[in-house]
Structure 1
């Protein structure tokens, strides 16, 4: 297995003990301060992705057959980033009340850049930089989820904050986080935001969470973005997160839907350019199960995408598909009866459940977790 260094601190800790760096990967690290130490290191077949390389090291790297991917300028995003995003980073320059300030945020600037060249850029360098970025995000996400029990919550982006279902989803997110699961969503508004809101309040009372929902209902939908964000920032100010580890959740949004800002309550964000990579990856990592709350075409697509992964056991794990809302999933959007028929002779057929109460939804996830024992990642 290759050593990977995404930060200067991580490299410094390693060099304090060892100078064997054969096949090591360096992602976006400024190597200037380490020049003397690296001059004595074994750098054969190392890979350097967008690093700052002092002139004194260049000859050594050439002799060591190192592979160097240079810095590519003129984009607002880091191509070789070693860490996932945080909401503070993506929404860094936003000032509540000044709705135009979102354009100056990192998220806003990347989205404007994305729109200029479109979802399928003709420019080969632009296409390459996006792929490099998404590769780095996937690599960082795989490191982030090691050892975590992951449950995805899917649902409509247009679910209003004033919808009773929004509150129920938030309470589910809170309880699952309290039980030690990593709640994961598509990272946008609606049901996705509700799940992250619940995780944010994992160390606070249910009454605090309900008060936060009341604050958020001042702007029930994400369009327009400004009031929607202002309400979220008001909650963050009144109820700052107490313990990032205990309140952790993962949002996985995309700039393809960049008009939907990322959920402010997701403490870690893996944002992609390629929506197809993002959707497949989101469902693939949810080995603890997927909860489907009411949603439209996008959510229904995710239902069958998850069903396909389970049907063919694509990733070596068959996990629960739990639907919330009997009337919705059997009458309004009668997906559940079809899925039961499709899965009748498959192992995942026994893992399909539908419920109306959040306690039953959580119990369905929990019972699967208990039955698997230590097999989970």
Structure 2
């Protein structure tokens, strides 16, 4: 039986007020110094405290009863035991970021939480940290992110759109991806992407516009086009902040989406339109998770090496899966048949396999939507 987890004091207080037992429960990164009386009176057998702050008497009681205390790790710009996914507000502080940029601060992004974590990652060995505590902190952090992501996605029909980070906001495919994501969100699918620029950004922009018209979406894309790629980081972020402010979601619950970026590519800031952000240190964990959680289908917009890698990761899962292969839809016939000719090879691999009927290629937003709806009802 899974352990009951507490990520907020509000949830914990409500549970205790209802007479709940803390035996075999988990508290994640909570300041419990104001809950000493309740803790000392509680049964803490098997209770786990991940990075929590406890007063000495509560700590002694927990240890005496067989509880486990995982200590906070010092001098980290991130919380390795966090109980929630990130938000754009937490990572990028959009309004403050805009003010700093407009005041002439060329290091405005570096001062955001996202920028500070990326700097720390860069200064502590990047992919191979020499300090075991840095390595441990990252692994604990990524585990916490996965746990929070699984809680968010439970019971949802998840569709991913993969595609290139270099796809410009001024490219016709950017608007097509945004339109597609909007349509799929309207149909009740939960949209995810790699969380970065390009086709990934368009995915989340489309979800934000679930309750707005196509003309408003076109106006938003036109406003973004003045900074077409993330290489102009200042302008790219500023235009994103402005569009975000001008077009808030009408129904935040319906407009939710999840971006899954990585600090391995930390020079690319996460886009500003995802409602939730599951940012990882380990790109391998992130990539496998992206493909695995999108059980309702994956759409592959034009992209290069990273997108091709994701195509074959998804193909491998479908190739060897024993039941329930999910749709693979290549979005862009000319691109995937001739410029990056992976479709013929995929067809050869799928021949005679269960996923053969769910492998397709199209230029049409409507065909993608119809395919995923057909899979839903199959």
Bin for the TM-score computed over the shorter chain:
over 0.9
Name the CA distance, whole Å, in 2 between partners of 1:268 and 1:239: 17
Shift of 1:241: 2.1
Could you say which residue in structure 2 is the equivalent of 1:89? 90
Name the CA distance, whole Å, in 2 between partners of 1:29 and 1:313: 40
What runs of 5+ residues in structure 2 fail to find an aligned partner?
none
Could you say which residue in structure 2 is the equivalent of 1:30? 31
Shift of 1:248: 0.4
Shift of 1:182: 0.7
Could you say which residue in structure 2 is the equivalent of 1:102? 109
Name the CA distance, whole Å, in 1 between partners of 2:204 and 2:151: 21
Could you say which residue in structure 2 is the equivalent of 1:64? 65
Could you say which residue in structure 2 is the equivalent of 1:157? 165
C-alpha contact (below 8 Å) 1:159/1:190 kept by paired residues: yes
Q: Note the 1:32-51 alignment, pairs <5 A.
A: 32-51=33-52
Name the CA distance, whole Å, in 2 between partners of 1:176 and 1:134: 29
SS at match of 2:360: strand
State yes or no: 1:276 paired with 2:287.
no
Name the CA distance, whole Å, in 1 between partners of 2:276 and 2:209: 15
Shift of 1:100: 2.3
State yes or no: 1:185 paired with 2:193.
yes
C-alpha contact (below 8 Å) 1:51/1:71 kept by paired residues: yes
Could you say which residue in structure 1 is the equivalent of 2:205? 197
Shift of 1:99: 4.5
Q: Deviations over 1:301-322 (max 9, x none)?
A: 00000001111118x5410000
Name the CA distance, whole Å, in 1 between partners of 2:50 and 2:57: 18
Q: Note the 1:156-305 alignment, pairs <5 A.
A: 156-305=164-313
State yes or no: 1:135 paired with 2:143.
yes
Name the CA distance, whole Å, in 2 between partners of 1:80 and 1:193: 28
State yes or no: 1:362 paired with 2:369.
yes
C-alpha contact (below 8 Å) 1:19/1:38 kept by paired residues: no
Name the CA distance, whole Å, in 2 between partners of 1:150 and 1:107: 26
Could you say which residue in structure 2 is the equivalent of 1:374? none
- Number of aligned pairs? 370
Shift of 1:293: 0.6
Name the CA distance, whole Å, in 2 between partners of 1:350 and 1:65: 54
Q: Provide TM-score, normalisation by structure 2.
A: 0.96
Shift of 1:205: 1.1
- Aligned-residue RMSD, C-alpha: 1.1
Q: Provide TM-score, normalisation by structure 1.
A: 0.96
Name the CA distance, whole Å, in 1 between partners of 2:324 and 2:72: 38
Name the CA distance, whole Å, in 2 between partners of 1:246 and 1:25: 30
Q: Which moved more, 1:40-49 or 1:125-134?
A: 40-49
Name the CA distance, whole Å, in 1 between partners of 2:63 and 2:26: 15
Q: Deviations over 1:283-303 (max 9, x none)?
A: 100000000010001000000
